[in-house]
Structures are given as C-alpha cells and as structure tokens.
Chain A
Amino acid sequence: MSQINLDSKIPSGPIEDKWTNHKFDVKLVNPSNRRKFSIVVVGSGLAGASAAASLGEMGYHVQMLTYHDSPRRAHSIAAQGGINGAKNYRNDGDSVHRLFYDTIKGGDYRSREANVHRLAEVSVNIIDQCVAQGVPFAREYGGLLDNRSFGGAQVSRTFYARGQTGQQLLLGAYQALSHQIHLGNVELFHRTEMLDLVTHEGRAVGVVARNLITGAVQSFSGHAVVLATGGYGNVFYLSTNAMNSNASATWRAHRKGALFANPCFTQIHPTCIPAGDEFQSKLTLMSESLRNDGRIWVPTEFGDERSAASIPESERDYYLERRYPAFGNLVPRDVASRASKREVDSGRGVGPLKNGVYLDFAASIDRLGEETVKERYGNLFQMYERITGEDPYKTPMRIYPAVHYTMGGLWVDYNLMSNVPGLYVLGEANFSDHGANRLGASALMQGLSDGYFVLPATIGDYLAPQLGNSALGTDEPVFVEAQSQVQERVKSLLAIKGSRSVDWFHRELGKIVWDNCGMARSKEGLEKALVEIPTLRQEFYNDVNIMGHEETINQSLEKAGRVADFLEFGELMCRDALDREESCGGHFRVEHQTEEGEALRDDDQFAHVSAYEYTGDTAQPVLHTEKLEFESVAVAQRSYK
C-alpha cells in the first residue's frame, strides 16, 4: 500500500528558469496527432473551462462534464474583487518576484515554491489573454487598465471588472469554450455529475457520471482525466460556496488512489454577512476589496447596546489599525478573521445576535464622496441592502468571517498530475499554490493559470508516449463494473427510507466541523469531532430519507451522495488538523500561539505537505509527507505590523 513515491517533479535550476526550461524538456504531441487523444474534463469553472477551451484549440478531443445546466453557472462566477497580475502598471515596485514572495509569505510557508513562482510568472499572460478575449476590466480615462490593492500586499496589482470580476473572467473562458463546442473540438455534457473515477492498471482512464435529468449512469473514457471540480468548503454546511459545490469528484478520486493533501487548510473569509436566523441556507461574501475603503471597528465597551451612529469616535476600537499599523485593514484574510473572532468572543460583537463587527465607509464617503464609493462598490452595497434591509451608505455594514475557500485538495506534482497517472487536478481542487492561506484575488489567477497555461504545456508529456493507443472502450469490464457500483450506491441510498432529511445531516455535520475544526482548533475538540462524525455517518446510512426515484431530476438524491462523501471527508479534515501540531495560516491550533495570540508555526516538524492515502477504512488513512524546501525566500514568522 505504502509504495507511493511523492515525486514532486520540480525541475532543477534557478527558480526563475524552472518553468521555461521545463516547457522545453517535456515531451510534446505534434498538432496533427492531437486529435487522436481524448481528454475528459470535469467541471466548467475557471480552471475547467479554460483548460477545455485551450486543449480544444490545440486540437485535442475534449469531453466536458458539468452538473450545471450551462457551463457559465460554475461558482467561479461569484468571485467579486479581482485577479492579481504582476504587471507593475502602477510603478509601485511590483514584480514577478514580489508576487511570488507575497504568495509564499501569505501562504505561511506551506506551499511549493516552484509552483508559486510559475503562478506569478504566468499571471501577466492571464491578464493579456483575458483582455484579448474582451473581458471588460475597469479602465482609466486614458484607456489604460485600472488596478486596486488587496489584502496581504503593499502594491496595487489587482485587475477588476466592477464587483463582478469572477463573472467576467468565467464568461470569457465560457465563450472560448463555446467557440470550441461550436467547432466540434469539445463535446459538452451538461447536467451530468461525475460519481466515480475509473482506473485501469493504475492509470486514470475515465469517469462514470449520472445524467441528472434522466438518471442514466454513463461512462466517459479518455487518455487522461482532468478534475477541475472546486473545493470542499460546503463540508461546513454554511459557507460562501454555491449550494451545489461539493467534494464528491475529488473524494471519489481519493478513494480510487489519489492522495488528498492538507485537507485541514481551509480559509475563513473575514468579510461576510453574519448569519441572520436558523433558516439560513448559505452565507454571502462581501468582497475583500471593501477593506480598501472601509474601516473595521467594534465598540470599546463590552455589550454596548447603542446604535453605530451614537457611538462617538473615542469609544470605537479600530482594532486592525491598532494592532497592525503597517497593513491596517488590509492584513491577510486569516489574520483579519481571527481578529474578528477575538472581538466577538470577548463580547464586543455588534448586531442583533452580537455576531459581527462593523465595516464602516463613513470616512471614505467624506473623503471621496458618495458617487465615487458608489462607483467602486455600488453593486456590493446594493446586495448588502437586499439581504439585511440596512443601507450601508448610512449605517456601517456588519460583517463576520465565513468559510470561503479551501487550500487543501488532491496532491499534484509540478505537472499538475496526481499520484494516479493520467489524473490531472486543477484550480481549487488541487493543493499546490496557496499553502495554508490564500491571498485575495489569487484564486482566479490560479484557476486560469492552471487551465490556460500550465496544463496545455504539461499534458503532452503524459500523452506523447501513448501515441497509437486508443482510449479504452466504455464496454470494457472496468467501466461496466464501475457503472454497476455507482448504480448500486444510488439504489442503496434511495432504499434507506429513514426519517430525517439529507439537509438535517448536512447541518449536523456542519455544526461539528465548524465548532471543532473552524477558526480555532484544539486537540480536545478535534478528538470529539472524530467520535461524532463517524456516529453521524452511521446514523445517515440508517436514517436518511430520500423521496422520489432515480429516473428523473431528484435533487435530494444528488445531495445525499454529496453529503455522504462529506461525512467521510470531514473525518479526514479533522484527522489532519489533529496531526498538524502547529498553527499556520488558516489552521489555528489554540495550543500553538504566540503570547500576542498570533499563529505559531513549527517549521522543524511541519514544513511539509501532508498527503493522505485511502485504505478502505476512513479511520486509518496512511500519511505520506512531501518536504517543502525553501531556496528562494527566507522562511520567517509572518508580520503585518
């Protein structure tokens, strides 16, 4: 079992030359041979759509699977603030090296140097590519591109399209994908959900998926499989992820041999609208860009019942500006989130449930005028008002951290291939670039880097030696067997006919992981969670009630499969959090903190990637580690003071 060799395949040579040299060293498939290769891409977000479009343009035959009714609905669409690019258009000292350095430091020295440097290099090409496609980025009056600054950086390198950057980038990729669909290079299978990975002689050869309209279970075969299926934030039930976002594709691949890396690295975003009532189905994020012009504060007094307007300036604590004068309101997300938690836990929270802090725009409105503030954040203010019924131009917003992004994911090497040959993992679904904490405006960058520029350059290395081999037929025993297992699982879920809804189990799981594996984690809490999750899982298999049948749209059935996988994944996440006896980035173990309450890393013991192997028993995963070597940056304790 444990014969796995975690070879990261990092090219040798100076960090600036690794990617350039590697592109020359990998094997290529010549243009006329590419049509002989078939690639299955699962997921149509930024990473999946950009990969499928680019591979289609190169001449590969691509099958694209998405569970959405259209590829354009993928959750990348909801990203608001922007995308980083080391263009140095502002002349403020930015460079590829600075973006690389900021990302490594922001990730609290838990990401792979070579991958991050490549990401920073490619970031400039992404901006060029997106502009050529017609992404309507914000402009200066002279017609040049505008930039804004973002958390964790002291330069302005973030490109944006109002508060809808994710939407516009995704539509750019979706349009390029649509062009390839029109040309016949990409075949689109919408409302089709991957339910298992198929391997043959140790290689990934395809997937089994369910047509969500007819319920038909089908196989898709290819020379390689690409998962671009996003993160696992919905294990917490309440998160800013879309309702359908789930970890089943990556979890199923994990069960088929792919290692899951750093599952305990989750990001809690500091600026979300606090939960209002028990019916809350999801949380809404307010872009981090708001921290550019908003000031965060709480009343100095504990349990202050006055309205924000009647609290005088002298009785307000702008705690981020006070504690982190250099970065102020623009400290990285993990630091800002923990600071809010500290204030709310200490009894200085605001709002009816005392579960938020203020994000105040009064000073900016005075300085810039309401018009300018409206131009920058109008749609966000409108969204806030719709949800809360309060007008942020008049009263400060109430915000609180919420689960937003997951840095962990399937382990991949420098080529973005998992330890299962032929299985590539892109975007949020892999683990490699953000370490223990992701900087703002970097998720869009990574998704597009992986899809537009990295995978198209590296996949040939795996495909070239296979020239002449046709893809396995879907009538081969491995597919037939995988298909019947999927059908069996669907039927057995429907047959339980217990007394509780799928959502009930999801909410219960969410409570366990939020309380014990959320913003602050302790040995005691995690051990408790590791008892509670398996118990809940057992209860699920005895008592879940799924109405309806399988030959039609059945949203409870879809969700049941996803929650069942979360019930296994959640256990791995807690196990990893328990094993990682240090605090770093989004992973905060209360036992490991400085006197000032900051995260305390342990580089001697934990400067590694923890990658777990599935053994058939969720209580007994095998841990493999990849040592993280830092050759180009000096490892230091992060300071934003």
Chain B
Amino acid sequence: MQVNLKIWRQSGPDSPGAFHNYEVPNASPDMSFLELMDVLNEDLQTKGEEPIAFDHDCREGICGSCAMMINGRAHGPETGTTTCQLHMRKFADGAHITVEPWRAGAFPVIRDLCVDRSAFDRIIESGGYITAPTGTAPDANLILVPKEVADSAMDAAACIGCGACVAACPNSAAQLFTAAKLSHLNLLPQGQPERYKRTVSMVNEMERWFGSCTNHGECSAACPKEISLDFIAMMNRDYVKAQFKQRRFASQT
C-alpha cells in the first residue's frame, strides 16, 4: 500500500518547526505505524536527509515511550491502542496522514516528534508512592485486599504515563494521569496512611505544570489503556475531603 505523510519537523526546542510531506510507496498492511516510520527514515538516510526523531522502545504498548498525534488524535484512530500497536491495515491505500508531536505547554518539543514529559515524573516524585523503605514489610498475606478493590486499583495502575491524556485535552490538563496514580494507591489499604497528604501534594504539583480540567472526557477517550474518568471523580472527592479532614483522626471512618 501507498501512504502520504505530513510530518512535523523541528530541529530543536527553540527552533521554528514546519510540516514536511513524505510518501511511502511500499508500505505493508501488516506493519506497525512505527515500522512505517522506520521505512521512511531508512529511505531519508539513503537520500542524505536526517531521519525523523521519535520516542519509542518496547513496541508492545507498555513502556509509554511512543507518542504521536496522528490525524489529530493521540495515538491515532484505533481506540485503546498505542502508536506502536497501531497497524497500517487500519488505513486505506493512498491515505493522507498528518503526524505531530504531543502539543502541551508542559511537554516542550525537543526535536521533531520527541517531547519532554518530565513534568509527569515531578508529579510522581511529589507523592506518588507508599512510604515503605526496603526491609520493613510484614508477610504479604497479612494485608488483605478484597479482590474487587485489587482489581480497581489495577485498572488505575495500568496507566503507562505516555501523556496521550494531556495531548488530547483542550486544556492540556493532567487530571487523568494524576488521578490514575492517586486511585491506585488511595484504594489500597497500604495507601491509607498517606492518602490525604498524597492527594494534596500531587494535585498541587500537577497544577504547577498543567491546565485545568473542564470535564471534556477527551483524556479517557484517547487513553491507550482506557482508564476511566471515574478516577478523576475519586481524586476530586479526596482532594475536597483533604481540605477539612483532621489528619490526626484519619483512621476513623
């Protein structure tokens, strides 16, 4: 199959960028979108042009490295799918495809399709953990977690930190990312002692970098792991509670 690509090129963080047009005449429907980029890059190098920089690693949809806005949609047209797991059989022969980096103030472009997502790390550093220094843990089966709770925590913990939620949001908000980590930890019994402190720290850190949520729901629709908006509601409720909760009495239900 043949495809026509319009790709954002930008040589550095402070350089102006522009769209460039490329054609791949020999694509295969069974190749992944990133393999299409590989073929294009190999062709560019043969012609003496610099290849297009893009982040990618596991190519199994789990590391969260790949990040492309494809035809205006984060990770492209297929729901619940990262760019690396998107295959060309989802496009028509002769398709015109626009490829851009994530667009968000907190994710500055470094080069071509690579952006800096360190702001996500800052949110986790601010409180996205349970304090459990190595060596102190009781026997694993002393902590009972109802199956339903463990399953919900896992639903939230499935986040891969790719940033599609931010890229898809008209406000560049990071509510879904932050809420996913908060819900994972706040749902579990092990996460209770730091629950409200964690919520306030992470929400405050999130607001330093990202826009505000206006309930569009684009984040969840774009999420390759289909993380639910319910977790944002859970985060908001915990944030409100945290404002007047007497933490000294937090063990009282």
Interface residues of A, Cβ cutoff 8 Å to B: 50, 53-54, 57, 68-75, 77-78, 87, 89, 125, 127-134, 136-145, 161-162, 164, 167-168, 171, 174-176, 178-179, 181-182, 188, 190, 213, 242-244, 276-277, 279-282, 284-285, 382-383, 386-387, 389, 452-453, 456, 501, 503-504, 545, 547-548, 552-556
Contacts and interface: CB of A to CB of B under 8 A. Distances in A.
B134 A54 contact: yes
B224 to A, nearest CB: 11
B218 interface: no
A311 to B, nearest CB: 24
Looking at chain B's contact residues, the main secondary structure is loop
A181 B188 CA distance: 24
Contacts of B85: 383, 386-387
B118 A69 contact: yes
B128 A178 contact: yes
Interface of B: 11-12, 28, 30-32, 34-35, 38-39, 42, 44-46, 48-51, 53, 55-65, 78, 80-81, 85, 87, 89, 110-111, 114, 116-118, 120-121, 124-126, 128-141, 143-147, 150-151, 153-154, 157-158, 160-161, 184-185, 188, 190-191
B57 A132 contact: no
Of B130, B134, B140, B191, chain A has the most CB atoms within 10 Å of the CB of B134
A456 B135 CA distance: 10
A70 B191 CA distance: 24
B30 A276 contact: yes
Contacts of A162: 154, 158
Of B38, B62, B65, B130, chain A has the most CB atoms within 10 Å of the CB of B62
A552 B118 contact: no
A127 B142 CA distance: 12
A398 B137 CA distance: 42
A134 to B, nearest CB: 4
Nearest to A89: B141
B86 to A, nearest CB: 8
B57 A178 contact: no
A553 B111 contact: yes
Contact of B125 (A161, A178, A456): A178
A139 B34 CA distance: 36
A602 B117 CA distance: 52
20 contacts: A53-B134, A73-B64, A74-B63, A75-B58, A128-B139, A131-B143, A132-B143, A133-B190, A134-B185, A144-B141, A178-B121, A179-B131, A242-B57, A277-B30, A279-B28, A285-B60, A452-B134, A503-B42, A553-B111, A555-B53
Contacts of A143: 144-147
Of B135, B143, B151, B153, chain A has the most CB atoms within 10 Å of the CB of B135
Given A136-B150, A164-B62, A280-B35, 12 more contacts: A134-B190, A138-B150, A162-B158, A164-B158, A179-B125, A182-B126, A188-B121, A281-B38, A453-B135, A501-B45, A553-B114, A556-B45
A284 B60 contact: yes
Contact of A136 (B49, B80, B153): B153
